[in-house]
A = this chain, B = another copy of it.
Amino acid sequence: MELGLVGLGKMGGNMRQRIRDAGHTVVGFDSNQEISDAKDLADMVGQLTGAPKVVWVMVPVQAIDPVVTELAELLSPGDIVIDGGNSRWTDDTRRAAQLAEKDIRFVDCGVSGGVWGLENGYALMCGGDKDTVDAVMPIFEALKPEGEFGFVHAGKVGAGHFSKMVHNGIEYGIMQAYAEGYELLEAADIVDNVPEAFRSWREGTVIRSWLLDLLVNALEDDNHLAKIQGYADDSGEGRWTVEAAIDNAVPVPAIAAALFARFSSRQDDSPAMKAIAAMRNQFGGHAVKGAEDPSYATPPTKH
């Protein structure tokens, strides 16, 4: 089938190739004309010949609304827009309503797989009406990994991005677990070769996983991660997961811990810990850096 694809970055560019490899026609648009198949969105839509026209939007979060708004003008009733970006699921309903005013249909689709997706396939979590999802199914089939896994029609509009959000929340927690274990092994000075220990875990253990494989790769390149700063961005889904958990009164201590660890990793100095140091100074009467518990106040006496 025919697909318009907006956004040909690392994700979109590889997705174009994987869909074409499956025998479909893709008209890609990107503001970078060197990689674009169309000179603008209107041109892209114009190159699609069938009906309904199907357009996959794969752009950064801040660009989604402008693209959707422009597509609402360019497309016709019955056409389909798929948002494959990192949207918050609560935005899906709004965009679906905006497009529905023109009788344009909407599917939200969370996409996982990163730079490995071209080769391994992309895991897809989508939300929308069954008929609309079915209409896009050949594209989903092309993108997803081979075999019986890697695709779910999770529910109505928003359910796709909600699933992807929870997926990423879980990802935060899992990564934090490996990271804590790594730090402990490094700190304890008992295990001679930490990368070897992690490497051994790739088979036979309870914790074998793809993320473990990736961490082992990284440790093989850089045994003590000396080239890497302990600084971790967060992309939104972790925050939204904790917020959704709060809205539903669901305790998520491990995922929240992972999120907070990332926040801390980006601080040069912690205002909270300044307050701790200030209080210790107040009750212990000590110099601030190296301030001691009051009960430690006795200077060492020797006998």
The size bracket of the interface on A is 35 or more
Which 3 residue pairs spanning A and B have beta carbons closest together?
A114-B294, A173-B177, A209-B209
Task: Tell whether, in the assembled complex, residue B242 and residue A155 are in contact, meaning their CB atoms are under 8 Å apart.
Answer: no
Known A-B contacts A59-B298, A200-B152, A211-B206; the reply to A228 vs B277 at CB < 8 A is yes
Q: Which one of A46-54, A98-106, A248-256 is at the interface?
A: A248-256
| Contacting residue for A281 out of B159, B190, B218, CB 8 A | B218
Binary flags per residue of A203-218, CB closer than 8 Å to B gives 1, else 0: 1111111111011011
Residues of B within 8 A of A171 (CB): 177, 206-207
> A204 and B244 in contact (CB under 8 A), knowing A181-B167, A278-B215?
no
* 25 CB-based A-B contacts, threshold 8 Å: A41-B303, A66-B303, A144-B204, A152-B196, A154-B196, A156-B190, A162-B191, A163-B197, A166-B184, A166-B197, A175-B275, A176-B253, A176-B254, A177-B255, A183-B270, A184-B252, A187-B248, A206-B283, A222-B278, A228-B278, A230-B274, A233-B280, A233-B293, A249-B266, A251-B270
Pair A246/B274 contact, Cβ less than 8 Å = no
Write out the residue numbers on chain B whose beta carbons fall within 8 Å of the beta carbon of A10: 285, 294, 297-299
Q: From residue A231, how far is it (CB to closest CB) to chain B in Å?
A: 6
In the bound complex, residues from chain B placing their C-beta under 8 Å from that of A180 are 169-170, 173, 245, 250-255, 272
Q: A201: which of B70, B149, B280 is its contact (CB, 8 Å)?
A: B149
Partner of A30, one of B6, B175, B301: B301
Report Cα–Cα, A129/B184, bound state, in Å: 23
- A31, B301: Cβ atoms under 8 Å? yes
A247 proximity list for chain B (CB < 8 A):
188, 239
State the CA gap A169–B176 with chains docked (Å).
Answer: 11
The docked-state distance in angstroms from the alpha carbon of A35 to that of B168 is 47
Q: Which of B206, B256, B282 contacts A253 (CB 8 A)?
A: B256
Of A19-27, A119-127, A131-139, the segment with at least 4 beta carbons within 8 Å of chain B is A119-127
